[in-house]
Amino acid sequence: MASEMAQPGFWARVQRASVERLHIRLESLVVLLALSAAMAVLSPFFLSLSNFLNILLATSTIGVLAIAATFVIGSGGLDLSLGSVMGLAGVAGAFVAVNLGWPSVFAVIACILAGGLAGYINGQLVTRAFVPAFIVTLGMLGLARGLALVISQGRAIYGLPAAIVYIGQGRPFGIPMPVILLVLTAIVAHCVLAYTRFGRHTLALGDSEGAARAAGIRVEHHRRIIYTLSGALAGLAGLLFTARVNAGDPTAGINYELTAITAAIIGGTNLFGGRASILGTMIGALIMGVLQNGLTLLAVQSYYQQMAIGAVLILAVFIDQYQVRKESRV
Amino acid sequence: MTLLSLHGIRKSFGAVDVLHGVDLSVAAGEVVGLVGDNGAGKSTLMKTITGIYRADSGSIEFDGKDILTLDPGQRRELGIEMIYQDLSLAKQQDVAANIFLGREPTKKLFGLFPGIVDKAEMDRQAAKMIERLGAHLPSINRSVGSFSGGQQQTVAIARALTFNPKLVIMDEPTAALAVREVQSVLDLIRRLRSEGIAVILISHRLNDVLSVTDRIVVLRHGRADADLVTAKTNMNEVVSRIVGGGDTSAAAAHEQRG
């Protein structure tokens, strides 16, 4: 056994096992650990429980959006409207709770419903009107943001009820509520993507639409469900954000789709569909969280953080495509 | 016993009429060759049988049922399988995922959550099927995109045969194969016939068609132009029907050598 360990193929075998069994790319885990180690060396504040929870809390919104991006991109689609739909959903929830004065549960439903509806419209347009997903969701990015500003008349809606604020600021057992909700969402999403027929069909669809169609999968129907799901998850992200900052902010989530898509791609989602894992995406989201947190601790201006995220996205896709070209005959 | 019967199938794409009323019937356990020049409508016709395309008019009966309005999944359920020329594989997925695509077996997790895909069962059955085909794959857990053309073909064939089909349509199954692999595909077709499974074989390799079919249907300009009994025809006649008459002995001789 010992001699086998020494063989050059060992690393390759570990890699393959991690991809096949755990559905994650080992490189992303290495990057996360290396990045954390670097931040720990550079900043004395990085390694602490409170900062760790901070990172998780800051990652919760992006994490939920990244799960949505994973499903959509894994199916060979694209959703650029995630950040705007998140903003719209938060405003919709705040409007229902504050302006209409309805019970909190309706505000929660309004968030998810507003997001789901936007996603449903995306799905309808992509599959029935044959407008490319890139254009449909880019249009929705503008539509949803504009509608959020219209509903809120351009101002943040304050005065949310305590029950809603608890979703964003509550800390049962010392763990922030958004973190708990992210973990629960991720577990469910992971099981759906990795172990159900729906998840397998999602990846098959992203891999080869023709093969999926020939196998009898109802391709258009499946895509509509995925876009609706993506919107509903953006709605959940909007709820988490609104509850955390205690306001329905119509400008919430600007550029979040950039971070969410980057997290999904770093986590091993194939940009063109067919390969994706929620576990990987969570690692990707944590990388983004650690990067932003570390740069903040190091007092790097937030403008540079934007640049860092953009550069990481391009780098991640470059590395992924390089490996695909090297390994496969596709 | 007639398994599949098509009457007056028409199909056009925009202004282009591809099929002008095709009649075709296939009996259970019969091997029918479908030949014709490029653009004669062979692949289009097959896709109206599998349901990828919906025929504009005409009727399709399979096993006594009208299937014209059924989607591809429903037609697969009835026992119609097709091996596509491009193989239609999801290349980043593994062997079992491709064989069971759209028909994954499920189990209950902890006896509670339904609809969990039974990966172990899939792998087991996929390995069994590959073995039954007498093929060797490097690993059943590898994505099929990393396999050679012949190995990918094996996966596509395994997918078509795993669910006890009644009719298997093969679109140019030997076009990309090495000599020995061609023979094993032809042997497979003979084995399917002996098991009572009907086969429609689309091929440009007329030698293959003549050696393995019971009947040869020639498609020409979107119509079933000729219906020949293989035992009573020859290369010369088939070639002549494909190109539409004239002196074809030179072309036929070429095919014979080919």
Per the structure block, which two tokens stand in for A97? 């709770």
CB contact set of B127 (below 8 Å; sequence gap of 6+): B140
A93 residue type, one letter? G
Q: Tell whether A34 is covered by a domain.
A: no
Distance of CA A309 to the CA centre of its chain: 14
In a domain? residue A154: yes
pLDDT tens digits, one per residue of A51-100 = 999 999 999 999 999 999 999 999 999 999 999 999 999 999 999 999 99
Whether the CB of B211 is below 8 Å from some CB of chain A: the reply is: no
Residue B116 sits at φ, ψ, to 5 deg, of -85, 125
- Residue B12, strand partner residues: B17
> Residues B205, B206, B211, B212: is their CA dihedral positive or negative?
positive
pLDDT average, residue stretch B137-147: 88
Computed on alpha carbons and rounded to an integer, the radius of gyration of chain B in Å comes to 19
In a domain, A19, yes or no: no
Pairwise CA distance, residues A204 & A210, whole Å:
10
Low-confidence ranges of chain A (pLDDT < 50): 1-6, 8, 330
Closest CA to A229 of A89, A117, A127: A117
Residue A208, judged by CB atoms within 10 A of its CB (0-12, 13-18, 19+), counts as: buried
A21 within a domain of the structure (yes/no): no
Does A197 sit within 8 Å of B106, measured CB to CB? yes
Decide if A234 contacts A89 (C-beta within 8 A). Answer: yes
* Cα diameter, chain A: 71
Distance separating alpha carbons of residues A306 and A206, to the nearest angstrom: 29
Contact present, A90 and A242 (Cβ < 8 Å): yes
At A224 the pLDDT is: 97
Q: What is the 3-state secondary structure (H, E, C) of A175-203?
A: CCHHHHHHHHHHHHHHHHHHHEHHHHHHH
End-to-end CA distance of chain A: 34
Contact assessment for residue B214 and residue B31, using Cβ atoms and an 8 Å cutoff: yes
What DSSP assignment string belongs to A210-253?
HHHHHTT--HHHHHHHHHHHHHHHHHHHHHHHHHHHTEE-TTTT
Q: Supply the DSSP symbol for A97.
A: I
What total of structural domains would you count in chain A?
Answer: 1
- What confidence score (pLDDT) does residue A3 get? 41
Q: How far is B185 from chain A (nearest CA, A)?
A: 21
Q: Give domain status of residue A10, yes or no.
A: no
> For residue A5, what pLDDT is reported?
43
This prediction's pTM: 0.88
Task: Tell me, yes or no, if A275 comes closer than 8 A to chain B by beta carbon.
Answer: yes
User: Which B residues 154-173 touch A at CB under 8 Å?
Assistant: 159
For the stretch B195-242, pLDDT in tens is 999 999 999 899 999 999 999 999 998 888 889 999 998 898 899 898
Q: What is the CATH number of the domain that holds A188?
A: 1.10.3470
Alpha carbons B172 and B203: distance in angstroms, whole number: 5
Query: One-letter amino acid identity for B5?
Result: S
Side chain identity at residue A208, one-letter code: S
CA–CA distance, A73 with B206 (Å, rounded to integer): 44
Q: How far is B126 from chain A (nearest CA, A)?
A: 16
Only one residue has tokens 């695909």, namely A324
Residue A64 and residue A182 in contact, taking contact as beta carbons nearer than 8 Å: yes
Question: What does the pLDDT read at residue B22?
Answer: 94
Position B246 confidence tier, pLDDT thresholds 50, 70, 90: low
- Rounded Cα distance between A291 and A221, Å, is 38
Mutation target for B interface from A23, A197, A220: give the one with most B CBs within 10 A.
Answer: A197
Measured between CB atoms, does B93 come within 8 Å of chain A? yes
- B244 in contact with chain A, both atoms CB, cutoff 8 A: no
Question: Could you give the count of Cα atoms lying within 13 Å of A46 in the half-sphere of its Cβ?
Answer: 21
Q: What is the mean pLDDT of residues B16-40?
A: 92
DSSP string, B138-164: S-TTSBGGGS-HHHHHHHHHHHHHTT-
> Residue B148 is encoded by which pair of tokens?
């050679």
CA proximity to A294, closest of A39, A55, A95, A107:
A39
Tokens of residue A185, six digits: 């969402």
Question: For A182, how many CA atoms within 13 A lie in the half-sphere containing its CB?
Answer: 31
Domain of A314 in residue numbering reads as 45-263+275-325
Which domains, and CATH codes, for chain B?
A: 1-79+167-258 (3.40.50.300), 89-163 (no CATH)
Cβ of A207 within 8 Å of Cβ of B93? The answer is: yes
CA gap A37, A39 in Å, rounded? 5
* pLDDT of A323: 76
Closest-CA distance, B73 to chain A, in angstroms, reads 3
Tens digit of pLDDT for each residue in B78-125? 999 999 888 789 999 999 999 999 989 888 777 667 778 988 999 999
The secondary structure of chain A in percent helix, strand, coil, rounded to multiples of 5, reads 75, 0, 20
| Pairs from A171-176 (Cβ < 8 Å, separation ≥ 24) | A174/A53, A175/A53, A176/A53, A176/A56, A176/A57, A176/A60
